[in-house]
A = this chain, B = another copy of it.
């Protein structure tokens, strides 16, 4: 994303521009909010021409996505050795982030993004760097023998994480603080018995 893979070919003030634009995007995202952010302002604040932004990112959505995803990169995955604890912590962190204005913005941008290659790349990046690593929580539990190896790590994580996303993007209710724990319990114990 963000233009052709940090092309270091001829003419390379690329990096400088990219950083400046992304910084400006963040700053304006904070002050103006998602809807109030105009790429003309971003360009001015970044000391860059509007056209440069469009040529690199293609459209507003992709820029937003690129900027927002940068936040996600540094997410740490809990690893205490206890499945319930790890899952709960992870879901709680996610819920907390999504409750943030930036979190809302990310969800919004992600859902609104189109189907062009750049957007798809952004989605993959999001999923890969955030949720795929979270899958390790389940994988490790299986390796420890805490979980039967018949469970599908991906399905488990999706069932854990998606209800939180669901409330944020769909019903748009505040996420109940103990929701993560309840989801984990339901997931672990099942509902068929007591």
| Cβ–Cβ contact A159 & B186, under 8 A | yes
Among A35, A110, A155, A161, residue most surrounded by chain B Cβ atoms (within 10 Å): A155
Judge whether A140 is part of the interface by a CB distance below 8 angstroms: no
Cα A157 to Cα B100 in complex, Å, equals 25
Of the candidates B35, B111, B148, B189, the one whose C-beta lies within 8 Å of that of A194 is B148
* Residue contact A155 to B35, C-beta cutoff 8 Å: no
Q: Is the CB of B170 within 8 A of A165?
A: yes
Specify which of A111, A112, A126 lies most central, judged by the most chain B CB atoms within 10 Å of its CB.
A111
Q: Does A190 contact B (CB under 8 A)?
A: yes
* Known contacts A114-B35, A127-B171, A166-B162; is-contact A187 B186 (Cβ 8 Å): yes
**Tally of chain A residues near chain B (CB < 8 A):** 43
A192 neighbours in B (Cβ, 8 Å): 147, 188-190
Task: Give which listed residue, B147, B150, B151, B169, contacts A169 with CB less than 8 A.
Answer: B169
Chain B's closest residue to A149 (CB) is B194
State the Cβ distance, A14 to closest chain B Cβ, in Å. 29
Residue interface bits A120-153, CB-to-B below 8 A is 1, else 0: 1001001100000000000000000001101110
A contact set with B: CB distance below 8 Å: 35, 107-108, 110-112, 114-115, 120, 123, 126-127, 147-148, 150-152, 155-156, 158-159, 161-163, 165-167, 169-172, 179, 182-183, 186-194
